[in-house]
Structures are given as C-alpha cells and as structure tokens.
Amino acid sequence: MSKLVASPGQSPDFNPQGIQTVQVRDLGQVPPGMGSSDDEIDLREVWRALRRRKKLVGVTAAAVIGLAGLVTVYQRVFRPVYQGSFVLLITDPISTEGGGSHAAAGFNNTMFEQLARNTTSNDIPTLIEVLQSPLLLGPIARRFDLDENSLANRITISSGGEKRKEAEGVLNVSLTGRDPEQDEAVLKALSTAYLQAALQQRQQRLADGLAFLNKQAPALQAKTDQIQSEVAAFRRQHSLLEPSAEGGALKEREAGMAAQVLDLQAGRNRLLKVRQEIANGTLTARGFQEAIGGMGNGTTAGGGVQGLTISDVDQSLLQQLLKVETELAEARSKYNPDSSMVQGLEARLNQLKPLLRKNQLEAVDAALSLNAGRLATARAQEQELNAQFLKQPALIKQYEALQTRLTIAQENLAGLVSARENFQLEIAQRSVPWRVIDPPEINPNPIKPSVPRNLALGAMLGLVAGAGAGLLRDRMDHVFHHAGEVKDELGLPLLGHVPYVSFFQGVREDKRFMLNELDSQTLPVSDPQQKQEAGYQRFFYQEAFRNLFTSLRFLNSDRPLRSISLTSSLPTEGKSLVNSLLAKTLSEMGQRVLLIDADMRKPQLHTRLGLNNLRGLSNLLSDEAPAWRDALQQVEGYEGWSVITAGRRPPDPARLLSSGRMHQLVQDLEASGEFDLILFDTPPVLGLADAALVAEHCDGLMLLVSLDRVDRGLPREAVNRIRSSGAPLLGIVTNAIKPERQGASAYGYGQYGYGNYGYGYGYGYGGYCYAAYDPAAAYAHYAEAEPEGGDTAGVSRQQRRVTAAPKAPSSLRERVAQRRRQLMRWLDN
C-alpha cells in the first residue's frame, strides 16, 4: 500500500489520465486554525503541540532533571573538585619603577631606565601566558609526577582584586583538582617558582639593561665632545661669546645713536629759525641774546651738540646796542624827536645794527655748518650699528641650536650615568620584585559540582529537551488523537464519534461479509469474557450512531435533511463501514434508509453487505438508464434498509456525477417519499472531484476524520476544498483506530460500568501511514484493479474472521516491545 497522508499545508496535485480533479479557487480569509504559511512558525500550533504531548514533555523534563540530579550527586560524592588559590602583587603600589626626584636628569634618567628595563608597557596577557607555559610548569609537573598540559589546564590566572577589577598589578592564581593535599603542595611550589622566576627575570633584565647602558655610554660621550668642539669653533669664527648678550648691547648703542641724531636735527631746526629771524630783522638784540643764550657759554645745543658761542667783540657790540637803545628811549622821553640828542642816538643805533646783524649771521652760519657735520657722522654710525645688529639673529640661531644639542647630549649622558649607577645598585641588592599577599590555601568545600547550578541547568535542559521531544514526537505522530482535538482544530461541529471496535479490524483487507457476523446471535468465539466484550462493543457503536443520527436531526429544524453524503480526506478511513453501520442502526430504529454507493471507482458496499454489483448507480446515470427502483436492493433482515450499489465501473465517473441526470435522480429519490434519509458513500475529497460533485446535489456533506491515522493538515485542506466547491459542510465525524485509555477523551461516552472499555480513537483499515503523503497515492489507490462481478459468493470462509483475543507475548523481546507500545500510548494520551 502507498502512504496516503500529506504533510500539513500540502495538497494532492497529481492528475493522471482519466481522473478529474477539483479546481480550487481563492478562499479569501481562512478561519482560524484552518491553515498557516509554510514560511512562518505558528506559535499557537506549537503551544497546542506541547499541550498535546504534555506527558512526554513532563516525563522527558523530569528524566533530564533526575539525570542531572543523579550526576550531580555522583560527582559530589565520588568526584568532587576542590580549588585553592594565592594572590601575587607584581607592581609597587606606592611608587613606580625607575621614578626619580632629581630635577636635573629626572626625565632622561626615567627614559634610559625604561629603555634598559624594557618595561614601557605592562602586558598582563603575555605575562599570564608565560606563567602557564611549560618553561615554569615543567619542573613542578615532574616533581609531582603530573602532566604539564593537564596541570596548565587546571591553573587559572586572572588580574584584578576581589574589590577592584581594575587592579592590574594583582594576579589571582587558582588551581583546581581532586586531591586537596597534593594540590596545596602544588600551590606552594607554584608560588615559590613564580617568585623565583620573577627574581631571575628581574636580575636578567637588570643585567641586560646595564649592558645596554654600557654599550650606549661611549657614543653619548663622543657626541657630547663633538658638540662642544662645534661651539668653540663657532665662537672663534665670529669672535663672540654670547650672541644674544652682544646683540642686546648693539641694540642699546643703536638706540643711543638714534637719540643723538634726533637732538642734532632739533638743534639745526632751531638755528635755521634764528637765522631767518636775523635776516628778516625781526630779532632784536635782546631776543637774539635770549635765543642763543642756551647755546653760549660752552653749553651744548640740541642735547649735547656744541651751539653758537658769542665772542667778547660780539658782546661789546651787543652791549653798546642795548645801551644806545636805552639812551634813545630816555631821550625820547625828555626831548623832542627833532632834537640833536635824539637824532644823534638814532644815527648811532643805525650804525650798530647792520654791523651786529652781520656778525650774528656769520655766527649762526658757522653753527649750522658744524651741526651738519655732526649730524652726518651720527647717521653713519647709526646705520653701521643697525647693519651689525641684523647679522646677530642668524648667529644667535646657530649658537642656540648648538647649545640645545649640547644640553641634550649632556643631560643624556648624565641620565645614562645615573641609570647605570641605579642598575648596579639594584643588581647588588637582589630583592624579589613580587610579593605573595595572600598565601596558598585550599578551600575545604568542593566547588564542583555546584548543586544549584547543575539543577538549574538540568531544569533548563529538561524543559528544552521535553519541548524538543514533544515537538519531535508530535511531528512524527502528527495526527489527531481524540475527537476534541479535531473539533478544536477545525472549528466545526462534532456530529458524532465512532469508538474503537476490535471486531471491525481488517474488514476492508479481508473483504468480509460483516452483516452475517454482526447478526449472528452467537459470535464465533469460545471465551465467555470475549463474548461479553463483543457485546459491549456492539452496544458502544450502536449508541454512537444513534447519537450521530440525533445530531443530524437537530442540525436543521426548519427543513429536515433528506440526503447526506459522507467523505474523508483519504481512502481507507472507514467511510463505507461508517455508512453501513449508520444505515443499519437507523433501520433498526425504524427509519427508512437508502444507502447509495457513489464511489464508482472502487466500490466497497456490495462486499460489506453481501450484495451483487451487476446493476447500480453507474447504470442509472448512463444513457440507457433504467428506473431507479430496478436498481434497489433490500438488505436481508432489515426491512427499511435499501441499497443502490455502484454498478459497473464507468470510464469517467466525474462526468456522470456532475450530469443533470444525477441531479434529477437525487430529486426523484427525495420526492418519492419512500426514504427518511438518503446516504451517499463517496470517494475521498482530496485529489478527486467525486465527493464535491455528489455534495452539490445533497442537503449536506459530512467529513470523516480518522484518529491516529491522517495528518492534521489533511482535514484542514479537505475542509478548504469542500468550502471552495460551495458544498454545504454539516460537520465532522471522528473515527477511532485504536482503543482509548480510560478517561482520555473529553468527548467519549464514559464507561457505563462495562469494564475497561472506553471510547478509543478509531479502527485500522489498511496500511496507510500518516508520516508522509504522496499526492498520487489517492489516485494509485483507485487505479488498483477491482475484481469484476457483483456478489460475494466467491469469498472464502477463511476471509471471514473475527479478531481473536490478543496473544500473550512469549519472548522477552515481545514483552519489551509490548511495554514500549503501552508506554508510548500512555505518553501520547
């Protein structure tokens, strides 16, 4: 047999020749729970899956948590892990290495010490790698007969203190192990080895640094001597000691000479003004005396420049002129202007003035000539001083560059000498650079396993494992397990639930004539308990179909349902059997029932009811169709139960079912008034158009869903197909294939006090698996050859059987398998 169950969301798309398929149109909005996109995860579906598998989730989680607890207890008792540690101080927290307080050579001293010590950066990760290297751990491992790699893996070194993580000058060294005594000895050996290694490293670094300083000393001394020689040559070449000081002196002399030039220029301007006044005759003798008074008597005119000196002759003329002017003034006050005294004094005055003016002009011209010479000399000196000063900046720059180089070379040399002395002193001291600030000690309490951590981790892993196991089991067992799931999943009315009846197992495969066995007063079993159980099962299925009929009656109170078709998602879900049992139950209740086999591709009703199939529905729908009463067959022993079999297989069943003759036939049957209910047995709705075509002529369609068989996605798709065809969907009928554990179904009928038989989840009708669905499987099922002929007279007695009591397992393997199946059933339920 083929596997006929599709994965969720898939639909059959195989279209072999001669088979008409249903054309699905856009359905618009899909009801909740009826479908989901393949590209998205439906969290509600995941939650429902976890709820369905809550037992498996709980058992798996409990098992993982229990296992984690057992492992924790075992490790805690038999394999505990202890931890010990000690703390190293690797830097001086008060002063930095190489720091000096000497102002003269502090910077260079620090620089040369850093270069010599090679401690310009504190590389903690590299230090940790060195401390965990075989170079240091090898001797300790050999001493305690340990493996170097395993010892290194047990050692953990980290920087930072307990209170301040940024304290990189502190190293925490921890060791884990299972032997506290040996681990404590290893810790002490580690602390001693680390201190000794630090001392050796320090001594080696100091020795290397001293060698480096000794190597650099000759070059620094030679460089200092060379720069000193260059300074001396510069002084000899330019005949100076300090260019800056001498440049300042030149600038002062140039400023003094500029002041002298200004004084001479001012004196010359004054002399020119005096001469102009003398030439114009506006300067009186007294005014001349006052004007040149500052220049006479040996004083300097114009700020130190020798002015005009009045000789004795000039003084006498001036005195005479002043005397005559005085006498003239007195005479004019006493005498008339025409008097001889006044005129004589005026004549005398006129004689003295030209002579005095001439002498004055000669004196002023002589002073101007002297001033011009001195002014030219001062200006020439000023220019010479300026030219000398302009040469000084370049010399100062060269000199200062030489002095800077010399200063740096001298400071470097002094710093090198100081660093070398410090290195020699430290080498002589041999002090340990590291200190153990927390001694080696082993914690008496084990650190591993951590009970809270393991239990928390076990709980998390348990939940994850439980959810994973539940989802995996639900994916591998992606079927409905009870009627309540179907109702909640599809959102449709649950019309009825057919319980598990072991008697019907293998009815389809064996082609059994079941009515003959059902009607037998004495079942072919010898065990009284099995007879009692068979009676219980007969009661259960009868009550189930009576409830189904009750549901159908109350579906439409205005207009009773006259014609109903029953279909399923896949073949072999038990449609023919359910139809037969429903018709049988209704006939026993006094109802007039007509059962029509509309599955003309592979009919089953005539075999189940022991009828011939020479004339049936295909004949009624063909061109030479007889009257429908001619095709009626009465089921023996049931007065109100009539059957129209499928008839001969037509070449195109879909064409006949969609014809007007089919519609007319249904109307004639309903209008005849001979039947209270007409039941149609149809092929599955997925992949074939027959069910939808039959439903168009009926009052409603019921969808049969087999529990524990079909994939959950197939009934959803079947509902979508039915709705897309426009057929009225009345509801769903669930069908069980396995016995149900007591109290497992929310929609069962209870126990009625009849022993251990509840209402399970269906019965098996073939080898169809729900793990995967091949779209062509439905067609392949109907492509199988059906034996021609209409009756079941050739069926042998060996094909008619009643399921005997289950055989008790004999071997250990069978008992284990049985227990495993029981456990899985319990978990699934």
Q: What is the pLDDT of residues 520-548, one digit of tens each?
A: 544 455 566 666 666 677 777 788 888 88
Among the listed residues 691, 690, 692, 667, the one whose alpha carbon sits nearest the alpha carbon of residue 678: 667
511 with 621, same domain?
A: yes
Alpha carbon distances (Å) from 791 to 776, 795, 801: 30, 9, 19
| pLDDT beyond 80 at 509 | no
| pLDDT beyond 90 at 644 | yes
DSSP states along 365-427: HHHHHHHHHHHHHHHHHHHHHHHHHHHHHHHHHHHHHHHHHHHHHHHHHHHHHHHHHHHHHHH
Return the HEC string of 649-701: CCCCHHHHHCCHHHHHHHHHHHHHCCCCEEEEECCCCCCCCHHHHHHCCCCEE
Give the pLDDT confidence of 697-746 residue by residue, as tens digits: 898 899 999 888 888 889 999 999 898 888 889 999 998 876 654 444 43
CA distance 763 to 588: 23
The pLDDT of residue 482: 78
The pLDDT of residue 282: 72
The pLDDT of residue 118: 58
Q: At what angle do helices 340-429 and 180-238 cross, to 10 degrees?
A: 150
Bond from prior residue into 449 cis (ω within 30 degrees of 0): yes
Contact of 12 with 720, CB cutoff 8 Å: no
Contact of 68 with 458, CB cutoff 8 Å: yes
| pLDDT beyond 90 at 25 | no
Q: Hey, which of 374-378, 523-527, 557-561, 676-680 has the most confident mean pLDDT?
A: 676-680
Indicate the pLDDT class of residue 565, thresholds 50, 70 and 90: very high
CA distance 223 to 409: 7
787 with 821, same domain?
A: yes
Block residue for tokens 């002759």: 313
State what percent of residues in the chain have pLDDT above 70.
72
378 with 463, same domain?
A: no
The reply to whether 514 falls in a domain is yes
DSSP states along 716-774: HHHHHHHHHHT--EEEEEEE-BSPPPTT--TTS---TTSTT----S-B--SS--SS-B-
Among the listed residues 20, 11, 24, the one whose alpha carbon sits nearest the alpha carbon of residue 689: 20
The pLDDT of residue 110: 59
Give the pLDDT confidence of 383-415 residue by residue, as tens digits: 888 887 787 788 888 888 888 888 888 888 888
| pLDDT beyond 70 at 112 | no
CA distance 33 to 30: 8
The pLDDT of residue 705: 92
Residue 545: how many other CB atoms lie within 10 Å = 21
Least confident of 242-256, 344-358, 359-373, 752-766: 752-766
The pLDDT of residue 76: 86
| pLDDT beyond 50 at 424 | yes
Mapped onto helix, strand or coil, the DSSP state of residue 241 is coil
| pLDDT beyond 60 at 313 | no
CA distance 258 to 708: 124
The reply to whether 164 falls in a domain is no
Average pLDDT over residues 497-509: 69
The reply to whether 500 falls in a domain is yes
The residue from 354, 369, 391 where one domain ends is 391
707 with 673, same domain?
A: yes
The residue from 336, 365, 391 where one domain ends is 391
| pLDDT beyond 50 at 804 | no
Average pLDDT over residues 449-458: 88
The pLDDT of residue 289: 59
Q: What angle do CA 168, 171, 176 make, to 5 degrees?
A: 145
Listed in sequence order, the residues at least 6 apart from 158 whose beta carbon sits closer than 8 Å to its beta carbon are: 128, 171, 172
Length of the chain in terms of residues written: 829
| pLDDT beyond 70 at 355 | yes
Alpha carbon distances (Å) from 109 to 202, 204, 210, 411, 419: 19, 20, 13, 9, 6
**DSSP H or E segment with residue 827:** helix 812-828
Q: Hey, which of 38-47, 239-248, 795-804 has the most confident mean pLDDT?
A: 239-248
Contact of 544 with 499, CB cutoff 8 Å: yes
Average pLDDT over residues 606-622: 87
CA distance 136 to 650: 94
361 with 467, same domain?
A: no
Block residue for tokens 């927390």: 438
State what percent of residues in the chain have pLDDT above 90.
13
The pLDDT of residue 503: 64
Indicate the pLDDT class of residue 202, thresholds 50, 70 and 90: confident
Can you read off the two tokens belonging to residue 631? 């095709």
Give the pLDDT confidence of 744-778 residue by residue, as tens digits: 443 333 333 333 333 333 333 333 333 344 444 44
The residue from 348, 366, 391 where one domain ends is 391
Give the pLDDT confidence of 220-264 residue by residue, as tens digits: 888 888 888 888 888 888 777 777 777 788 788 888 888 888 888
For the chain, the domain total comes to 3
488 with 470, same domain?
A: no
Indicate the pLDDT class of residue 623, thresholds 50, 70 and 90: low
Pick 398 or 306 by higher pLDDT: 398
668 with 775, same domain?
A: yes
Pick 780 or 223 by higher pLDDT: 223
772 with 663, same domain?
A: yes
378 with 293, same domain?
A: yes
Can you read off the two tokens belonging to residue 674? 């001979």
Q: Hey, which of 232-241, 350-359, 408-417, 636-645 has the most confident mean pLDDT?
A: 636-645
Return the HEC string of 63-128: HHHHHHHHHHHHHHHHCCEEEEEEEEECCCCCCCCCCCCCCCCHHHHHHHHHHHHCCCCCCHHHHH
Q: Hey, which of 201-205, 208-212, 225-229 has the most confident mean pLDDT?
A: 225-229
607 with 664, same domain?
A: yes
Block residue for tokens 């080898």: 767
Among the listed residues 175, 87, 184, 182, the one whose alpha carbon sits nearest the alpha carbon of residue 132: 175
| pLDDT beyond 60 at 614 | yes
Domain coverage including residue 72:
53-77+456-475
The reply to whether 428 falls in a domain is no
Work out the mean pLDDT of the chain and round it to a whole number.
75
Least confident of 63-77, 109-123, 600-614: 109-123
Alpha carbon distances (Å) from 244 to 254, 373, 410, 469, 481: 15, 34, 22, 94, 109
The pLDDT of residue 510: 53
The reply to whether 496 falls in a domain is yes
CA distance 168 to 161: 8
Average pLDDT over residues 183-194: 91
466 with 523, same domain?
A: no
CA distance 392 to 250: 9
The pLDDT of residue 808: 59
CATH of the domain at 615: 3.40.50.300
Block residue for tokens 């279909």: 567
Indicate the pLDDT class of residue 564, thresholds 50, 70 and 90: very high
| pLDDT beyond 50 at 657 | yes
The reply to whether 72 falls in a domain is yes
The pLDDT of residue 279: 79
The pLDDT of residue 108: 55
348 with 326, same domain?
A: yes
The reply to whether 174 falls in a domain is no
The pLDDT of residue 204: 81
Among the listed residues 635, 654, 546, the one whose alpha carbon sits nearest the alpha carbon of residue 594: 635
The reply to whether 342 falls in a domain is yes
Indicate the pLDDT class of residue 287, thresholds 50, 70 and 90: low
φ, ψ at 534 (rounded to 5°)? -65, -40
| pLDDT beyond 50 at 26 | no
Please name every residue paired with 565 in a beta bridge, in sequence order, or none if there are none.
Answer: 680, 701
